[in-house]
Amino acid sequence: MSKQRSGRSASRREQGPASAAGLPVNKNDEVLLDIIGMTHEGEGVGRVEGFTLFVQGALPGEKVRARVLKTKKQYGYAKLLELVQASPDRIGPPCPIYDQCGGCQLQHMDYTAQLAWKRQLVVDNLQRIGKLQVAGAASRGAVSGSAEKDAEPAAVEGGSAGDAGYPAEGIRVLPTLGMDEPWRYRNKAQVPIGVTDGGLVGGFYARGSHRIIDMETCLIQHEDNDKVVATVKSLGRELGITAYDEETGRGLLRHVVVKKAFRTGQMMLVLVTNGRDIPHLDAWLGSIREQLPAVVSICHNINTQRTNVIFGNDTRVLWGSDVIYDYIGDVQFAISARSFYQVNPAQTEVLYGRTLEYAALTGKETVIDAYCGIGTISLFLAQHADQVYGVEIVPEAIEDARANAKLNGMNNVKFEVGASEDVIPAWKEQCVTPDVIVVDPPRKGCDPRLLETILLMQPERVVYVSCNPSTLARDLRVLEDGGYRAVEVTPVDMFPHTVHVECVVGIRRVDT
């Protein structure tokens, strides 16, 4: 790795305050860096005399010239000034506002390389945080690079987590399951609204800020979502609708939320406002219905709180249905204004298909879904299980889950409101003995008491669906120490061109 610096920077190193503190760089120094890896947030990682600098937009394998923006005791941040040597994985981002918008982080990286990096990110977390052995992978520490994009675990062909044995060489981490067409995959847009000298604008926040970048098209949104947002903005300008101002708390329109059911084509529009009264409402609704015939539901959510949380507690239907309908596989779901529903329907089927495979259901099993939400995984598994129990702490989600079970005529599913770590032990007292427990926790991972409950319940198999490799690794360590073995991990690319990666893990009790 090159550690060269310009002569001007070298003299600053000798005289500047950072050097006096023992750091090899000062703010505003220009440095030449070899990028040796990439963080979980998509920043390139380089080092100067052992001091780590994070460089937004730099890719592993590149040599770059960068300016130091900020230093801390053990690391700093630098701005990419020049690509001295570009990575073969670098491509031109197709989005015209990519450099400004914070919605995507990896459009400048070839998609095959993105998938390889996401797998390596999972491997690194399992090794570094979980202290777990991974088949065919040497320990690499915290930094992921793209050099391993062709490195497939040697044990992959040994079978799946449904096999009787455990891989002696460690956990199998399969290649990331990506999309054939990794664009226009999102079925939901949540667009903040603001105002400029030109009037009403709506788009996404600039990276690391709440400054709105106006957007007419988003390449990861379905085209119909773009059309609805653009139409609502245009009509709002014509009617003189004001935008909410976070600093003053004044103005009306806060967010435009659009949901599209990919299978049925139905669309829902939700106007989130800072107050109940909407001026020119009839004219607005009439124009929306005329110009956007695919919209079958127009809802109004009122949020008067000084917060950046999108939704308030009060939602009403302005026109049309209170739900739209979509499918995951053969299971139909009713989606309301505030329902959580996976935003990438194509990859959701991939994710749930692998969940079903790791659950290894024969039709005789009892399954507990510990973070069931509106019942998406529960109902998907109920097609192949004897009985499924779903628990979720959000009452509205359980109402949706019960309605979705009724919608599909599924009588072998029971849903209950509460914390998993409280409800599941109560089920145990009622002689509910699960063969499989499925967990799909939020980014913070499983509650420690839930992990204790799983170890107490002793199901034969656990399937862990994760949206955060670091908390996944932490929780797997607890399960491994409690008598379970993670057999196989499948990373799934639910959000192409972003740094997010989901995983499904097949886990078995050691004595089975």
| Rounded percentage of the chain residues whose pLDDT exceeds 90 | 81
pLDDT over threshold 60, residue 143: no
How do residues 395-405 score in pLDDT, each as one tens digit? 999 999 999 99
pLDDT over threshold 60, residue 159: no
Higher local confidence (pLDDT), 197 or 325? 325
Provide the 10 A C-beta neighbour count for residue 279: 11
pLDDT at position 155 is: 28
How do residues 228-259 score in pLDDT, each as one tens digit? 999 999 999 999 999 999 889 999 999 999 99
Residues 6+ apart with CB under 8 A from 415: 372, 375, 378, 389, 390, 391, 392, 398, 401, 402, 405
pLDDT over threshold 90, residue 167: no
Rounded mean pLDDT of the chain? 89
pLDDT at position 138 is: 57
Q: Are 296 and 268 contacting, i.e. CB atoms less than 8 angstroms apart? A: yes
Q: What confidence category does residue 198 fall into, taking pLDDT thresholds of 50, 70 and 90? A: low
How far out from the chain centre does Cα 103 lie?
A: 11
Nearest Cα neighbor of 327 from 296, 304, 300, 352 is 352
d(CA 288, CA 250): 25
What is the Cβ-side half-sphere exposure of residue 80, based on CA atoms within 13 angstroms?
A: 21
**Structure-derived torsion over alpha carbons of residues 153, 154, 159, 165, reported in degrees to the nearest 10:** -100
Least confident of 7-11, 223-227, 350-354, 410-414: 7-11
pTM score of the predicted model: 0.88
How do residues 341-369 score in pLDDT, each as one tens digit? 999 999 999 999 999 999 999 999 999 99
First to last CA, the chain: 49
d(CA 208, CA 220): 20
pLDDT over threshold 70, residue 331: yes
Q: What confidence category does residue 27 fall into, taking pLDDT thresholds of 50, 70 and 90? A: very high
Q: What confidence category does residue 137 fall into, taking pLDDT thresholds of 50, 70 and 90? A: confident
pLDDT at position 231 is: 96
Higher local confidence (pLDDT), 153 or 218? 218
**What pairing do the DSSP bridges indicate for beta strands 324-328 and 331-335?**
antiparallel
Residue for token pair 């777990």: 132
How do residues 439-463 score in pLDDT, each as one tens digit? 999 999 999 999 999 999 999 999 9
Active site residues: 467
Least confident of 196-210, 393-407, 413-427: 196-210
Q: What are the CA-CA distances from residue 387 to residues 68, 310, 365, 374 (Å)?
A: 58, 36, 7, 17
pLDDT over threshold 50, residue 7: no
d(CA 17, CA 29): 12
pLDDT at position 382 is: 98
pLDDT over threshold 90, residue 225: yes
Q: What are the CA-CA distances from residue 432 to residues 71, 156, 197, 418, 443 (Å)?
A: 55, 35, 62, 17, 28
How do residues 66-93 score in pLDDT, each as one tens digit? 999 999 999 999 999 999 999 999 999 9
d(CA 59, CA 36): 8
pLDDT at position 35 is: 98
How do residues 480-495 score in pLDDT, each as one tens digit? 999 999 999 999 999 9
357, amino acid identity: E
